[in-house]
Amino acid sequence: METKCPVDAKCAAEISAMLTPPSPLQLQEYFEEIISERKCHGIEVKQDGNLSKGVYATMELKEGELILKDKILVGLQHVPNKLDCLVCGYCFQFIESVEYQIGRKLYLQSLGVPSCNGCDEGECSSSSSNNKACLPEGVIAALMNGELVLPYSDKFPLPSTVPCPGGCQEAYYCSKSCAQTDWESSHSLLCTGERSESVSIEALSKFIQHATETNDIFLLAAKTISFTILRYRKLKAANADRSELSLLLEAWKPISMGYKRRWWECISFPDDVDRSDDTAFRMQIQQLAFKSLQLLKAAIFDEECEPLFSLEIYGNIIGMFELNNLDLVVASPVEDYFLYIDDLPDPEKEKAEKIARQLLDALGDDYSICCQGMI
């Protein structure tokens, strides 16, 4: 049986307005505005009825020239990958130090925490393999507390860790700027710390747990809804005379530009599901999304932004990421460090490898794990 969401019927007109595709003129104006804001030269976006949209050069470009540097609208580090890589919660660059990154990996490995080196959920391998070398007592602690400085690690400096403004233990940043930007754009509603602006931290924790156990794309959808709510509040504070719907549509504008379909209608069919069960499978996906939505609604609901908590909107947000999202990959400075040591000339290499080789053997293949997520 198809899942029914009360908000879908209550806010049908608003939902229809939000999901109406932008006109070609609106799309063109939006992309021209982005190119102008990013101070890009020599490119333009063209639309084609058959081929959709494309970025074209309007002048000759030099090899290696930066053409476009865009901002991430919303992004997410995959939950299992957080065990392997400590990165900024906003810009996703590695933080703290090469020593800390190595020490943290080895510490979690010593606890038997699984490592996910690009594997699917549920296929993570235990990091406590007997094939990995043991280190002298105290080395891991010395790496993490800064007592042990590795040779040539100064060639790979990383920014110090900045805690979450809300006091949670789930988000860390490379700078106060990134911390504040993330707080103002989405994290203030999704923080589980004592200064969280969510309706219920308990409900939020349940939502996060459900997403972690099922599909972390729900976390990306939650970021999108939080982003829209916070934009709406800023717009309302500056435009008190405008209607709630016009403000919501303006706040939703960046999301409206993405091609969308309901998640359960466009999700890739798993190999282990019989295609004769297509309808039942898609119903299960719809029910899973509705369960997630109910948990999120209990955590961050805003009555003035109620259409965002409809299953139709939620399903289309997730479907947008299913169809359009890109893999987020950030190379690990730990891998770069060991490659640097390996390329050193003798006798520098021999001297540096006295400690580096022990650490590399202890890490095993896990040394090269990069930051992985989706945007």
Strands 162-163 and 172-173: antiparallel
Token pair listed for 335: 């891998």
Lowest mean pLDDT among 192-206, 239-253, 264-278, 353-367: 264-278
Give the 3-state secondary structure of residue 163: strand
Give the least confident one: 6-15, 85-94, 125-134, 244-253: 125-134
Full-model pTM: 0.92
- 107-161 pLDDT per residue, tens: 998 888 776 665 454 455 544 444 567 888 899 999 999 999 999 999 999 999 9
Query: Per the structure block, which two tokens stand in for 360?
Result: 């590399």
DSSP letter string over 116-162? -SSPPTT-PEES--TTSPP--TTHHHHHHHTS---TTGGGS--PPPE
Residue 53's nearest CA partner among 81, 89, 76, 27 is: 27
Q: What pLDDT is stored for residue 118 in this prediction?
A: 53
Domain boundary assignment for the chain: 6-16+198-325, 74-195+329-375
Helix (H, G, I), strand (E, B) or coil at 172: strand
Residue 328: which pLDDT band, with cuts at 50, 70 and 90?
very high
Residue 122: per-residue pLDDT? 47
Q: What is the mean pLDDT of residues 86-114?
A: 94
DSSP string, 200-242: -HHHHHHHHHHHHHH-THHHHHHHHHHHHHHHHHHHHHH-TTS
Q: How high is the pLDDT of residue 128? A: 46
Q: Give the single-character DSSP code of 94.
A: B
Q: What is residue 51's predicted lDDT score, i.e. its pLDDT?
A: 76
Give the confidence band of 31 by pLDDT, cuts at 50, 70, 90: very high
- The model's pLDDT over 38-86, given as tens digits with 9 standing for 90+, comes to 888 889 999 887 777 889 999 998 998 888 888 899 999 999 999 999 9
- Phi-psi group of 331: left, alpha or beta (phi > 0 → left; psi -120 to 50 → alpha; rest → beta): beta
Q: Can you tell me the distance from the alpha carbon of 7 to that of 308, in angstroms, rounded to the nearest whole number? A: 9
| Structure confidence at residue 39 (pLDDT) | 85
Per-residue pLDDT tens over the stretch 214-246: 999 999 999 999 999 999 999 999 998 999 999
**pLDDT the model gives residue 197:** 98
Positive or negative, the Cα torsion across 15, 16, 21, 22? negative
Q: CA-CA distance, 95 to 156, in Å (whole number)? A: 11
Is the pLDDT reported for residue 207 higher than 50? yes
Token pair belonging to 85: 């890589």
The better pLDDT of the pair 178, 39 is held by: 178
Closest CA to 320 of 253, 254, 252, 260: 260
Structure tokens at 275: 């295609």
Mean pLDDT lowest for which of 35-44, 86-95, 343-352?
35-44
Report the pLDDT value the prediction gives residue 116, as an integer from 0 to 100.
65
Sheet holding 76-77, edge to edge: 76-77, 371-374, 327-330
What pLDDT was estimated at residue 131? Answer: 54
DSSP single-letter state for residue 371: E
What per-residue confidence (pLDDT) applies to 275?
75
pLDDT at 97 exceeding the cut of 50: yes
- Least reliable range by pLDDT among 88-92, 98-102, 110-114, 148-152: 110-114
pLDDT bucket at 268, cuts 50 / 70 / 90: confident
Classify the C-alpha dihedral 59-61-66-68 as positive or negative. positive
Q: Is residue 172 within 8 Å of residue 161, measured between CB atoms?
A: yes
What 8-state DSSP symbol labels residue 324? H
Average pLDDT along the chain: 92
State what percent of residues in the chain have pLDDT above 90: 78
Cα–Cα distance list, 205 to 35, 82, 83, 191 (Å): 38, 17, 19, 9
> Which pLDDT belongs to residue 113?
78
- Decide: 42 and 342 in contact? Cβ < 8 Å: no
Per-residue b/e over 226-260, b at no fewer than 16 CB within 10 Å?
bbbbbbbeebbeeeeeeeeeebbbbbbebbbbbeb
- The reported pLDDT for the residue numbered 124 is 57
